[in-house]
Amino acid sequence: MNQSSLSMETCFLGQHLPGWQLRLNGRCLARGCSAYQAWEVWESDRLGRLYALDGRAMASEADAFLCHEPLVHMPGLAHAGPRRALVLGGGDGASARELLRYPGMEEVVIAELDAAVIDLTREYLPSLHQGALDDPRVSVKLGDAAVTLEQLAVADERFDLLVYDLTDPDTSAASLFRREAFAAGKALLRADGALCMQLGLPLGQPAQIRALLASLREVFTLVTPFFTPVPLYGGLWAMACAADHVAPGGMPTDLLAARIAALNGPPLQALDAASYPALLALPPWLAGLTNG
């Protein structure tokens, strides 16, 4: 890791919407370039430590829970008991950390392109994975996640949850956001399995969100969009759960509360039995965006 100046600086990180930037005051702790992308680690004034890839903010200490808890637990809690999970991307370990909360979780496979993401997380942002990267139930497959999908299919592997924790659709991960990749992911899911992914900013990327939902609906019977605020990403953030037999919503409150109470580790911060269904609520402007 290349150390950089520790003097106070102003950081303008490009957001997931081109032309939008996040202004932070802080110190750049390290930066460098891997074979795949440029990376930076910052100690910011408002969000604590964070990292960026190719100038786009990926995760921060302060609000990572607002992204990763809904991403994992909206489908995970709707499932009767996930035992195996596959994460596409997710080299920072934050999604794996949440998946390991499930008492029956036996294995989490992380398909990460870039070893540099794992290295910078270990050195500068251990709070993101909180030991998940060292858990014996977690394995990492380095390389193109599309190739990993093919290899897992050849091996006839099956998973309960498939978590898309990738960079944006306009990056090197673009092929994984196509209908064909969703179909390949579905083929790795058990009958009651579910895929969950991030869609983008409703106010800034409506066309992208509509296109991703349309592609998911070509592959899955049940596609459920939901929304959570993620300050690092620029505001309200869209996600979706896709499955044939599992959908967030409709669970009795007592069952939902019992499943949340059974999770390992400290209490969730972004979700409880009351806020879980609230993330599914669609005011008219969001309903218009997400209706098929």
Residues recognised as catalytic: 165
Phi, psi (degrees; rounded to nearest 5) at 269: -105, -30
Give the whole-angstrom CA distance, residue 87 versus residue 129: 13
